[in-house]
Amino acid sequence: MSIQLQNIQKKFGDFVAVDNVNLNIGTGQLTALLGPSGSGKTSLLRIIAGLEQADSGQVWFHGQDISERHVSQRGVGFVFQHYALFKQMTVYENVAFGLTVKPKKQRPAAAEIRRKVMQLLELVQLDWTADRYPSQLSGGQRQRIALARALAVEPKVLLLDEPFGALDAKVRAELRRWLRRLHDEIHVTSVFVTHDQEEALEVADQIVVMNKGRIEQQGSPEQVYDNPVNPFVLEFLGNVNLFHARIRPGGVQLSTVAAPETQQQDTLAYVRPHEIEVLLQADPDSIAAEVDLITVVGPSVRLDFVAQDNQQLIQVELAKDNFKRLGLSPRQQVWLKPQQSRIFLGEGI
């Protein structure tokens, strides 16, 4: 089931929450709506679901305009951040719920319901919890059951709003990988809302970066990360250092201080922490800096440097091997050499 959004506009009072959004989501894709708080992700998801009505524009499912169709007629399944399971029902009963409340004519036979629920519980690897109550499960397990419950009615579209938002970092990371594997098995067209760029980069086939109700960029994780179309996308997808860049014949010279010449020659250059080489000796195009803080994060090392000329903070990320080879210690003098940078023309300073 593909999804097309055409010129979707949604206001709350005078506030424009979704601003003329056009979006195509291919059949079987796992799409992340990524953006800061208040950027309109949830509003857009709710419009796709039919929980919210757009002021103007259309929602198409597989070439059919379903804008006027009620949520119950759209064939969507939901998982929310706090999608409370029914406390008084067992896990089995929770997952079976959507099937047991179907009108008699459409309701599968009891044996078929049982087969299906157990199959779903196996899919989310929690078949052993069938007779438990939600209070006897961990938060991560509850979200997996919520997903099994959403899938039980065979939705054509699965919508997830920060499904792992309330869980701790480790469980979150596990569930992300698990969701990716699950999606590879069932291929249901899915849209999930997140403000966590790592989550979007790791899980999604397609990322839609939103800002102030608009789409800034849409593309594969590689496309949006490697070729951001503007500074907003670049900065939202991970840490970045800003330098003054002077474009001159044969290349770009980066510096922490503005060029003394005319303003037009100076522009901003963006460099990610892993794109900076640390040198122990001066080099013509390097920036003198001092080690300020060293933080070892598993296999990589995050370093804060302070530029010698204007005390600007520069963040660098090194593989641990490289860090050890350099033998860096606090207050040591080094030279930083950006290996690549991005310049968005018109971003003059």
Ligand X SMILES: Nc1ncnc2c1ncn2[C@@H]1O[C@H](COP(=O)(O)OP(=O)(O)OP(=O)(O)O)[C@@H](O)[C@H]1O
Q: Applying CB under 6 A, which residues contact ligand X? A: 12, 15, 17, 35, 37-43, 193, 195
Smallest distance from ligand X to CB 32, Å: 12
Q: Rank residues 45 and 269 by Cβ distance to ligand X and give the closer one.
A: 45
Smallest distance from ligand X to CB 84, Å: 18
Q: Rank residues 78 and 243 by Cβ distance to ligand X and give the closer one.
A: 78
CB 254 within 8 A of CB 244: yes
Q: Rank residues 191 and 301 by Cβ distance to ligand X and give the closer one.
A: 191
Smallest distance from ligand X to CB 42, Å: 3
CB 203 within 8 A of CB 32: yes
CA 149 to chain centre: 24
Smallest distance from ligand X to CB 200, Å: 13
Smallest distance from ligand X to CB 48, Å: 12
Which of 207, 203, 213 is closest to 226 using CA atoms?
Answer: 207
Smallest distance from ligand X to CB 166, Å: 13
Q: Rank residues 19 and 347 by Cβ distance to ligand X and give the closer one.
A: 19
Virtual CA dihedral for 47, 49, 53, 56, nearest 10 degrees? 50
Q: Rank residues 43 and 312 by Cβ distance to ligand X and give the closer one.
A: 43
CB 147 within 8 A of CB 125: no
Q: Rank residues 193 and 334 by Cβ distance to ligand X and give the closer one.
A: 193
Edge-first strand listing for the sheet containing 15-25: 15-25, 3-12, 56-61, 64-65
CA separation for the pair 231, 163 (Å, rounded): 28
Please give the radius of gyration of the chain, using alpha carbons only, rounded to the nearest integer.
25
Residue 336 burial by Cβ neighbours in a 10 Å radius (0-12, 13-18, 19+): buried
Q: Rank residues 95 and 224 by Cβ distance to ligand X and give the closer one.
A: 224
CA separation for the pair 169, 172 (Å, rounded): 5
Sign of CA dihedral 265, 266, 269, 275: positive
Smallest distance from ligand X to CB 15, Å: 6
